[in-house]
Structure 1
Amino acid sequence: MDATPEFDFFPPLEPRRSGLLRLDDLHEIYWEECGNPDGIPVVYVHGGPGGGSSPDKRRWYDPDAYRIILFDQRGAFRAKPLGEVERNTTQLLVEDMEALRKMLDVDKWLVTGGSWGTTLSLAYGQTYPDACLGFVLRGIFLGSPDEIDWFMRGMRRFFPKAHDDFIGWIPQAEKHDILTAYEKRLFGKDADARMDAARRWFKYTESCSLLRHDPDLVEEAVKNDPVVYGTGRLDAFYFRNSMFLEPGKLIRDIGRISHLPVMIIQGGHDVIAPPAAAYAIHRAWPGSVLHVVADAGHSPSEPGIRSKVIQTIEYYKRNKRFDAAALQASGPV
């Protein structure tokens, strides 16, 4: 099967099999597999951390060529229990990915992900480099204190209305520490207050994701209660714990995976994950290919991002590598 000339989605498809993988006495993660069971194994690593893998992500991959694996991380979307932060760390998520790979009897897989999914993909690859064929990473986020502070405070420079909506309802006495104010409500006893705080957090994220703001898309997104709840709680929890990463670790340990091919796709006007992080990874990773989509923000739904991701995955199935000049010449983006 071939993608369209514009590298648009492949047709809708359903999983061949799916299930819940029991991790311990508390957590189960959802997984699914579709496409060609004998194809190139590829795994999608979702953002958030609590965002989950939406069904449209299946359509990034040629189902004739790829064995497509999606999963929801601890506490996310269809994982159980939803929004759970106990025993939920980056290191445990890395081990969950490895447990899933072994359970599915995958030798090596192409690791693809966006936003927080790039953070986890890099952490996984640096822990288990021999399990990876390569990487397709969109909207690099390295989990640094600067990036977290930028999300909480800095994005108001570009999205003042969205930021005002994000903090305006917080009492003045608590505005000096917005993260703590949100945590108080996201993890309080009142279920309605937890959901309200999660929805406000999620709406802020969605409102700042698009280069061309679309209020209808934002309002539609905030109706998905499991994704909203998981994202709000896990985002705040991971922010509080510095994403469970040592400062600079993902750059420092790039040598563990620098022999593997990688394509980095970055929105040129990405406010949630600004391009500086993508450039830092590109500079640290010899042979990496960086493509900046000039007319795009953070969201994978933007046409330029979606097209470039699909084009890259199409290129990999034929060449098992990435080449900047060839990808630039192989079709529209």
Structure 2
Amino acid sequence: MDSRKESPELNRNLYAAVEPYSSGFLRVSDLHTLYWEQSGNPSGYPVVFLHGGPGAGTSPSNRKFFDPEFYKIILFDQRGAGKSTPHACLEENTTWDLVSDIEKLREHLNIPEWQVFGGSWGSTLALAYSQSHPDKVTGIILRGIFLLRKKELDWFYEGGAAAIYPDAWEPFRDFIPEDERYNFINAYRKRLNSSDANVKVMAAKIWTTWELMTAHLIQNEENIKRGESDSFSLAFARIENHYFFNKGFLPSDSYLLDNVDKIRHIKTVIVQGRYDMCCPMMSAWDLHKAWPEAEFKVVPDAGHSANEAGIAAELVCANEKFKNILKTGDASC
């Protein structure tokens, strides 16, 4: 699990920024339309990027994990997030709607099969999609594992992470009256769906800021400022809270672990920051134990964010490994 012993031949540096060569909107229901884009090599190997949150949307920096000369890089904003419409909408917005959307996008872009890349909530969605459509997935890269189990939600919203970040936790806690502090997800749900727009926006900003303040090993002020945006916060907080209140719309608490056999044969790399406060390492460890065939990388000096140097290096390196396999059939590095 030592992330510092890779072959020096493999690139570990983020690639230069690239712009999309095509983009558009795909109507996936009578209500929802998704923004999508393609960048990199139009004839390259397809990889789909699944963003976190849920509700965070994509950003241009997401393209930099992939060699643009080799990969056809597909990004899309999930229902209600980013440029997708309607913004911050919770109707017809479940894990299984998103799994269906990924398939609709694959078919729309005429892609027979693709590599799947997801971090945080994106790792949840990557597992759910791959377990539903294993014949369409050639490889999986996961980061900051989130299995949407009760103990994970309790860790972040009922006092676990608060023991490490009490200064960040208190504003989140104090927004809720004392008599409702026995269940913060429920308490915020009421306010994020309030008829009072000011209450809704304030709740969204506080919810979002709590997560952004814990996302890096060393707090990142630029990242935290994203929580000041009404638009970003509303989608991020409302959609996250909706999914967490509904336990990810998964049939059971251990559903994603219980269905690992469906994807055990797919080449997979799991990257986890040792000091991840949002998605603590217990989940990555449980997935590793259930799926020892997947390569498991622990970054010893990182938290949750994909943009931390050690995690970014491992993610780029994982893509480089897959590239070598696809080019030569050689899995060695």
TM-score grouping bracket, smaller chain normalisation: over 0.9
Partner of 1:71: 76
Q: Percent identity?
A: 40
2: distance between equivalents of 1:64 and 1:75? 31
Q: 2:34 aligns with which of 19, 29, 33?
A: 29
Partner of 1:105: 110
Per-residue CA deviation, residues 161-195 of structure 1 (Å, 9 max, x unaligned), is 11111111222232233222211111111222211
Cα 1:217/1:4, change in 2 over 3 Å: farther
Partner of 1:230: 235
Cα 1:168/1:6, change in 2 over 3 Å: farther
Cα 1:4/1:165, change in 2 over 3 Å: farther
Q: SS of 1:143's equivalent?
A: coil
Most deviating of 147-156 and 221-230? 221-230
1:176 aligns with 2:200: no
Partner of 1:330: none
Partner of 2:315: 309
2: distance between equivalents of 1:308 and 1:37? 25
Cα 1:311/1:76, change in 2 over 3 Å: same
Partner of 2:96: 91
Tell me, yes or no, if the aligned pair for 1:261 and 1:322 is still in contact at 8 Å: no
Q: 2:58 aligns with which of 33, 49, 53?
A: 53
Partner of 1:129: 134
Cα 1:18/1:225, change in 2 over 3 Å: farther
CA shift, 1:217, in A, is 2.2
Q: SS of 1:251's equivalent?
A: helix
Q: SS of 1:232's equivalent?
A: helix
CA shift, 1:210, in A, is 1.0
CA shift, 1:115, in A, is 0.3
User: Partner amino acid for 2:30?
Assistant: D
CA shift, 1:6, in A, is 6.9
2: distance between equivalents of 1:191 and 1:164? 23
Cα 1:322/1:229, change in 2 over 3 Å: farther
Q: SS of 2:98's equivalent?
A: helix
Partner of 1:331: none
Equivalent residue runs for 1:162-241 within 5 Å: 162-214=168-220, 216-241=221-246
CA shift, 1:22, in A, is 0.3
2: distance between equivalents of 1:172 and 1:21? 44
Tell me, yes or no, if the aligned pair for 2:213 and 2:219 is still in contact at 8 Å: yes
CA shift, 1:124, in A, is 0.2
1:278 aligns with 2:284: yes
CA shift, 1:151, in A, is 1.2
Tell me, yes or no, if the aligned pair for 1:34 and 1:63 is still in contact at 8 Å: yes
1: distance between equivalents of 2:202 and 2:36? 28
Tell me, yes or no, if the aligned pair for 1:316 and 1:322 is still in contact at 8 Å: no
Tell me, yes or no, if the aligned pair for 1:289 and 1:322 is still in contact at 8 Å: no
Per-residue CA deviation, residues 25-64 of structure 1 (Å, 9 max, x unaligned), is 1111111001111111000000101011111001111110
User: Partner amino acid for 2:322?
Assistant: Y
CA shift, 1:318, in A, is 1.1
CA shift, 1:5, in A, is 8.0
Per-residue CA deviation, residues 214-238 of structure 1 (Å, 9 max, x unaligned), is 3x22442224443321110011111
Q: Name structure 2 gaps, 5 residues minimum.
A: 1-7
User: Partner amino acid for 1:105?
Assistant: N
1: distance between equivalents of 2:229 and 2:75? 18
2: distance between equivalents of 1:293 and 1:14? 30
User: Partner amino acid for 1:121?
Assistant: A
Q: SS of 1:222's equivalent?
A: helix
Most deviating of 314-323 and 93-102? 314-323
2: distance between equivalents of 1:233 and 1:159? 23
CA shift, 1:4, in A, is 11
Tell me, yes or no, if the aligned pair for 2:10 and 2:320 is still in contact at 8 Å: no
User: Partner amino acid for 1:188?
Assistant: S
2: distance between equivalents of 1:284 and 1:322? 25
2: distance between equivalents of 1:66 and 1:50? 25
